[in-house]
Amino acid sequence: MLKIRSLNRVFKDFLERDTELDLIVPDRVMFYRLLRPPKQGKHAPTIGFTWPRRVNYRICQLANRVHVFMMNEFPEVEKTVNTFARMLFGYDGCGTNKDIFLILDEMSHKRTTQCYNMMKFRKIKYLKLINTQIVGLHVNGLAACAERICFKNVVFMQIYKEPIKTECKYVTLKSCQNLQHLEHTKFFNCQQANLVRCEIMRDNLKIFNESLEVLSIRRTFSVDNIIAKYLALDSPFKRLKILDLSYNQIEWSGLLHLISKGCVFANTIERMSLERNLIITSLMTIISRLQLPKITYLDLNFNQIDWEEDELRNYNYKVVRKIREKKQVGDRFIKIRSVEILLADDLIIKVMSPEDLYKD
């Protein structure tokens, strides 16, 4: 859900009125959730925004950007589509020399094709696809010149024969299926990738190359020791600085590959998180095998690890352990979250809040 800035009262009144305008110029950009058509019938909500009749898309124009929101109710009349494209890229100049933020929600194949014909290979600042099925041709055309991309609940239907290298620098995939169909969509300029609740296989990561600096693969429950071994030994991620493999199924043998000096990113990795995996060992054993010279942060929370805190003070590693507990204050129980940090310089244990810990 894209959240930008809320509207003032004057603009709310403007939206609630029956209007035929296709182009509006607000002082602030509306919340994306406010653009959904309201429920119909006797049980329709009486409080909230009224969907303007005869208008099923919106263009929000600001001084330096344009926000385009499209639903499944996107107009299918060819004349209307041409008018829509002219407002963006024609003589009206709405999208000329401005950053375009494009959001497609629950678009059918026909509507996605119309959008692809208008937006293909155009410079897009932010592209977001939600709750849809999309073929490889449309993915390549829309993502080719997009700087930031977010796919949420997207099913990739088929592989496009001709590979393409996108200009995307930041990509997010949440709850997506058939990632193997992205084989010919190359994110070789991508610096940060975030994969959440996706089925990851070894070949899925070949769409990235050595320019990747931040990689997060969370809650997939399919990242096992085979994927960990590929990341450490066979992947091209030689510049990787931050690696997050939380909520997966990595065991002790997979961790050994990630922290050894033979790892491809051994000389660049600075922060690594392996929270909620299947690692069973002692912390001293991990530190004795740790061969990453630039590592400054290692998160091993919620694994079956013997911490051995007394021995940690002889090492120059910062080891973080989150503590969650409940304390009774009056008649209520309040959740308390703190962090214990073991520092080798002053040989004492300090307790800090998570906000203070991540300030640097």
How do residues 173-225 score in pLDDT, each as one tens digit?
999 998 888 888 999 999 999 999 998 887 888 899 999 999 999 988 678 88
pLDDT at 313: 63
Report the first-to-last Cα separation within the chain, whole angstroms. Answer: 29
Of 87-91, 134-138, 180-184, 296-300, which gets the smallest average pLDDT?
Answer: 87-91
Contact between 291 and 308 under an 8 Å Cβ cutoff? The reply is no
pLDDT at 123: 86
Question: Is residue 360 a part of any domain in this protein?
Answer: yes
Domain boundary among 60, 90, 117: 117
Total domains in the fold of the chain: 2
Question: Is residue 234 a part of any domain in this protein?
Answer: no
Domain boundary among 65, 96, 117: 117
Q: Give the β-pairing of 164-165 and 124-134.
A: unpaired
Question: Is residue 353 a part of any domain in this protein?
Answer: yes
Whether residue 240 has pLDDT greater than 70: yes
pLDDT in tens, 267-281: 999 999 998 899 999
Domain boundary among 60, 86, 117: 117
Question: Is residue 344 a part of any domain in this protein?
Answer: yes
Domain coverage including residue 334: 323-360
Question: Is residue 207 a part of any domain in this protein?
Answer: no
Question: Is residue 343 a part of any domain in this protein?
Answer: yes
Q: Which of 281, 289, 347, 277 is nearest to 308 (CA)?
A: 281
Q: How far is CA 334 from CA 143, 220, 326, 353, in A?
A: 45, 31, 5, 15
Whether residue 170 has pLDDT greater than 70: yes
pLDDT grade for 36, boundaries at 50, 70 and 90: very low
Question: Is residue 221 a part of any domain in this protein?
Answer: no
pLDDT in tens, 317-346: 666 666 666 667 777 776 665 555 554 444
